[in-house]
Structure 1
């Protein structure tokens, strides 16, 4: 097979590009029809067979698919090291070899550039459209980038969907996706599936011979989000962009570019987790002064609403509400409203007593009584509080305790309404001491007919981030598009949801192996606000009407603070539950949220992940290990510690009889002395794991 490819590219006079370490070889040529074709080899093994590139245009006499000649090829090399504002490491190397291929279409005289960047961990490519007379404004009907697989790989996938990423992962062979799709598409508030073989990026795969392959995109700016549609007879993925309300997939004006299409490859799963290629394909930071961007550990008035113990709404008096008309001062409180002064103060006190930076408060503002499902344009104004939430008094109280309050902006997917109010809302935040906002886009997008991941809505998410930067506000966007490394350019984007998070544990539960897949997929593009730290697994004990169960052990929940990287970490459970398990809660209090270094010790998608991280500026290390469905003994070395020093490690682990379903709160805590020569064999229960905090022993 490899010989056949090489013959093909030799005949076609292929251009060749090698990675800096020589492990990757990318070949590019034009086929007999003048269509661009590329292929990728890793350590002598094909990973992407010859695959076509191009774009189909709408209402145009000729698409950008074939009839090309090569006008110019420009090879370059780039090598830099840059420092992220926050991150898993304190410095990132950006080292690649590049090949820019300028193509001219014979019939139209149009030019496009396909730019390839080959790193030591994979390939990125994008389309560029230079300024030219024959290509000014154009509409994309579909992008036709192909990724031809070399076999029937095992895939860890989510159903392709224009409106949600909140599905559990399905693990099948590529050939089995079609048969498994109906079961994989579970109910969601807003969803639009498009194909029985369509899947989302970031897509993680493993070949029969042990090659790990990840397909995604980077720098999604002014373009529709890419899905992948599988030709399951030939095992070829092709890009499938999210359409707008008219069915169009991109309105473009040259000069412009597409996002990068990324292929991360290794024979070691740990390398996929460690890859920074997605960030490296984004522009450097555009915020001149980033001193105000700070990692945050927080608690919040949230889980009690998610579980149904309390409500976002203030009253049950009104069948419908209209802001500016409905008089909430005359309404009878329902007695279950979570965002009331007394309850919020309780969370502020808890945060202050336990060293947390902030308190998130949801349901503080008027409009929650009929916020969802009514195709309602003017839902919230983001500044008018309910009668039982005193903005200024709570700000003063929090400030007196050294705690911030995190603002919540649920848009109910009414994008126009949010943009209408966004400046006023951000000014209100700054006037009242709010430095961070959690935004949400639950429901069907307004303008009606738009999708969550179409070009116009992608531009809205970017607008909100950039507008927030003007006001020095950090953003944690929920239900927005999955991240593509844009946090390098705008590091005030300190968190996203954009996947099935902990809240689904109260909506019926996540699969135990869910957290062993997300770091290989969702986290490739940026951190996730996963909201871990649940200690009470039986939701009926919080709300008797909710019989959901959290499919995790307490030790697993602790480990998530290390394995599920984010500079924004929530202790999501109720304060009273942490007070029941103060010894386990100590790890959440101690664990850092910003890091100088990270070491991936063990990894296998869908089965287990073990990570060690060095806290920024302290020298302390923290280890987290999460386990999937089956029990396992984790074996690690402490060789990441500094030689010649002694440390004490506090190990929070599953008890021998722990099990995510039957005995999730069974854990042990022990202290052991370790050096960089020490090793550990630790039992991990089904749905379990362990967490370790490590501190140097002071010399006597």
Structure 2
């Protein structure tokens, strides 16, 4: 206090007392809570002008400097300033719950909560900001109780800030209202503007919005910390992006606009999605976090017995490579009601024909797979891409060479399901008008899972893939599918936000560059070492791994692309890229040539009791071990970037006193993702919980290990 007094000219006691009172008053307005383990501290304060702000520290290190909160409203006073705090409540919560499927059997939901009620004097409106502080991070959201002063309102923009403490290294995608299918750029935040133009590569539908706009989940590294920013429980709201101020390193939310430019249209009582910050000084902790899942509501589906993880093959990769076609003919400019396919000459390359589909069914049955995905089975594929047609597919009419009844009878005789495919061509109104009929058709013919697609611009035009209207559509499809006991695998939809906890029939999502891009020019060699830290934070990805023939020209001489991965790493992806829906994406004929390596795909589980992240560094490497659901078996996968590395792990997670046999599927001598990708070596070792393993990973390579209890 003496130092403070000495700062005042002439030691003016009146000024000193006034300043002291202001400091005490400001401190009184600040609210703080700590995480259960006391390593994270959240501070919430009203700044000058009644502007709400928050900051976050981890083990005494600043994670986020004070950043403002609030919403800018359309045609009325915004909820950004002029607030007074009228209440602050605290509580602690601790429970454990079991997911229908997942990376672990049991998830602990343990947090300390602070709910701050703010009242805007000028409008008498009330806004509550609810903060939940976990050991692994923070979640917060806006809540608006029913009130006559705020009934129906339109969000012009959300003004949430994430004020970073420096020029962090970032793993980022260009901000885009319609696609996440970009290669991740690794750079400092200060370099984003200069790298943005090259980062924006062509896509079937894309709407970038800024030279410094970024997508979530955004992975960051700086000041000895790993930080991940995302959102949870995206319902009746538009998806959040981030606008970077590359001078101050403050990120501010940017919501996806709808067709008339509104970010969200709300009516009280209502609430926003959670804004999430996962933080640790260990990269592995980011991957093991369940914060996003915990911030979602429990399952709304009471009977979940019909929801089962799936391992499948499919008539897909041969079309992606150009070996086969989705369409039955080569005609274009057609209308469904003006073409008689039974009288039209087929093109001879249609993949979804009876003979070919039975080949996949036989292969699935022989090797114990659950299902066969068939794309291109239904009429309409000749003339739809990029045409903005309202009516393209009816989702129930097969091509002449696809016998629905016979193929499903054949599949059932082999104890195999056929997986439905619904490509909407972005025509959302058309899909909704056919939805009940399409699901009834699935029930009739024994389909229990559907892969949906939203390729191209959204119709009605003006809407974006991630605006509020489309978010409500995706969630409507989930609830409608649940009525028919149908599992959904959404492609080209919004990136997940943990909503699979609430609707566990959301069995898979794409929402990033998957394996298909290996046929479109290739994914970067470090791609699969970044995805676990970015896209997979919100939920599992249907990445479609397992490509053994890495030269696409082997299937289509006109396509010179290649898979940027060794064969051994393709096996590792079944562990490192978690999904309860896993595809063996290559052709049966190719797998038959490599049955020794294919054995790992047959053996690896798709549902888990436990997960351990053994090594991790975003953009460099990921090594993960998982314990199969209800079994003593473990599976390990390791993926590295273009530099290669030597992986060193210990097996202390195994049950002490038991003996196991480890089968190691590794890169062969001189393996390299570009020069020699298909060479691999398989060996077996006897191991226990005391064992340690050292394994070289080739550039763009990795390894996979099955660890089976001896005698099993």
TM-score using structure 2 length: 0.96
Q: 1:45 aligns with which of 61, 67, 77?
A: 61
Hey, what does 2:125 align to over in structure 1?
110
Q: How far apart, in 2, do the equivalents of 1:222 and 1:428 lie?
A: 29
Residue 296 of structure 1 and its aligned partner are, at CA, apart by 0.3
Which secondary structure does the structure 1 equivalent of 2:639 belong to? strand
> Structure 2: 5+ residue runs without aligned partners?
1-22
Which secondary structure does the structure 2 equivalent of 1:548 belong to? coil
Determine whether 1:484 maps to 2:500. no
CA change 1:25–1:574 in 2 (3 A) is same
Hey, what does 1:509 align to over in structure 2?
522
Aligned residues of 1:12 and 1:29 also touching (Cα < 8 A)? no
Q: How far apart, in 1, do the equivalents of 2:649 and 2:24 lie?
A: 46
Q: 1:613 aligns with which of 626, 642, 647?
A: 626
Q: How is 1:346-357 mapped onto 2 (pairs within 5 angstroms)?
A: 346-357=359-370
CA change 1:531–1:11 in 2 (3 A) is same
Q: How far apart, in 1, do the equivalents of 2:25 and 2:425 lie?
A: 52
Q: 1:655 aligns with which of 665, 668, 671?
A: 668
Residue 73 of structure 1 and its aligned partner are, at CA, apart by 0.5
Residue 322 of structure 1 and its aligned partner are, at CA, apart by 1.6
Hey, what does 1:92 align to over in structure 2?
107
Determine whether 1:174 maps to 2:186. no
Aligned residues of 1:9 and 1:28 also touching (Cα < 8 A)? no
Q: How far apart, in 1, do the equivalents of 2:68 and 2:294 lie?
A: 25
Aligned residues of 1:98 and 1:118 also touching (Cα < 8 A)? yes
Determine whether 1:228 maps to 2:242. yes
Which secondary structure does the structure 1 equivalent of 2:302 belong to? coil
Cα distance per residue 1:588-611 (max 9 Å; x no partner): 010000000000000000000000
Q: 2:302 aligns with which of 282, 288, 305?
A: 288
Q: 1:332 aligns with which of 345, 362, 383?
A: 345
Residue 8 of structure 1 and its aligned partner are, at CA, apart by 10
Q: How far apart, in 2, do the equivalents of 1:89 and 1:517 lie?
A: 21
Q: How is 1:71-150 mapped onto 2 (pairs within 5 angstroms)?
A: 71-150=86-165
Q: How is 1:434-449 mapped onto 2 (pairs within 5 angstroms)?
A: 434-449=447-462
Hey, what does 1:673 align to over in structure 2?
686
Q: How far apart, in 2, do the equivalents of 1:210 and 1:645 lie?
A: 38
Residue 372 of structure 1 and its aligned partner are, at CA, apart by 1.0
Residue 631 of structure 1 and its aligned partner are, at CA, apart by 1.3
Q: How far apart, in 2, do the equivalents of 1:496 and 1:210 lie?
A: 32
Q: How is 1:250-649 mapped onto 2 (pairs within 5 angstroms)?
A: 250-316=264-330, 318-649=331-662
Q: 1:246 aligns with which of 237, 241, 260?
A: 260
Hey, what does 1:4 align to over in structure 2?
none
Cα distance per residue 1:363-390 (max 9 Å; x no partner): 0000000021111000100000000000
Cα distance per residue 1:133-154 (max 9 Å; x no partner): 1000100000000000001000
Aligned residues of 1:538 and 1:548 also touching (Cα < 8 A)? yes
Which secondary structure does the structure 2 equivalent of 1:413 belong to? coil
Aligned residues of 1:160 and 1:227 also touching (Cα < 8 A)? yes
Hey, what does 1:183 align to over in structure 2?
198
Hey, what does 1:212 align to over in structure 2?
226
> Structure 1: 5+ residue runs without aligned partners?
1-6
Cα distance per residue 1:388-424 (max 9 Å; x no partner): 0000000000000010000000000000000000000
Which secondary structure does the structure 2 equivalent of 1:368 belong to? coil
Residue 11 of structure 1 and its aligned partner are, at CA, apart by 3.8
Hey, what does 1:35 align to over in structure 2?
51
CA change 1:597–1:8 in 2 (3 A) is farther
Hey, what does 1:19 align to over in structure 2?
35
Structure showing greater radius of gyration is: 2
Q: How far apart, in 1, do the equivalents of 2:26 and 2:227 lie?
A: 26
Q: How is 1:59-70 mapped onto 2 (pairs within 5 angstroms)?
A: 59-60=75-76, 62-70=77-85
Q: How far apart, in 1, do the equivalents of 2:143 and 2:29 lie?
A: 23
Which secondary structure does the structure 2 equivalent of 1:668 belong to? strand
Cα distance per residue 1:245-295 (max 9 Å; x no partner): 111111010100000000000000000000000000000001010000000
Q: How far apart, in 2, do the equivalents of 1:488 and 1:532 lie?
A: 24
Residue 9 of structure 1 and its aligned partner are, at CA, apart by 9.7
Hey, what does 1:686 align to over in structure 2?
699
Hey, what does 1:3 align to over in structure 2?
none
Residue 12 of structure 1 and its aligned partner are, at CA, apart by 6.1
Residue 13 of structure 1 and its aligned partner are, at CA, apart by 2.5
Residue 471 of structure 1 and its aligned partner are, at CA, apart by 0.4
Residue 580 of structure 1 and its aligned partner are, at CA, apart by 1.1
Q: How far apart, in 1, do the equivalents of 2:232 and 2:138 lie?
A: 11
Q: How far apart, in 1, do the equivalents of 2:255 and 2:200 lie?
A: 19
Aligned residues of 1:9 and 1:29 also touching (Cα < 8 A)? no
Q: How far apart, in 2, do the equivalents of 1:106 and 1:278 lie?
A: 34
Which secondary structure does the structure 2 equivalent of 1:487 belong to? coil
Q: How far apart, in 1, do the equivalents of 2:582 and 2:332 lie?
A: 37
Residue 210 of structure 1 and its aligned partner are, at CA, apart by 2.0
Q: How far apart, in 2, do the equivalents of 1:177 and 1:12 lie?
A: 39
Aligned residues of 1:656 and 1:683 also touching (Cα < 8 A)? no
Q: How far apart, in 2, do the equivalents of 1:390 and 1:320 lie?
A: 26
Residue 10 of structure 1 and its aligned partner are, at CA, apart by 5.3
Q: How far apart, in 2, do the equivalents of 1:468 and 1:106 lie?
A: 46
Hey, what does 2:14 align to over in structure 1?
none
Q: How far apart, in 2, do the equivalents of 1:101 and 1:447 lie?
A: 40
Residue 574 of structure 1 and its aligned partner are, at CA, apart by 0.6
TM-score using structure 1 length: 0.98
Q: How far apart, in 1, do the equivalents of 2:545 and 2:412 lie?
A: 26
Determine whether 1:160 maps to 2:202. no
Q: How far apart, in 1, do the equivalents of 2:28 and 2:45 lie?
A: 6
Cα distance per residue 1:417-458 (max 9 Å; x no partner): 000000000000000000000000000000111100000011
Residue 326 of structure 1 and its aligned partner are, at CA, apart by 1.3
RMSD: 1.2
Hey, what does 2:13 align to over in structure 1?
none
Hey, what does 1:201 align to over in structure 2?
216
Which secondary structure does the structure 2 equivalent of 1:503 belong to? helix
Q: How far apart, in 2, do the equivalents of 1:493 and 1:190 lie?
A: 23
Residue 698 of structure 1 and its aligned partner are, at CA, apart by 2.5
Q: How far apart, in 1, do the equivalents of 2:28 and 2:623 lie?
A: 45
Q: How far apart, in 2, do the equivalents of 1:151 and 1:231 lie?
A: 12
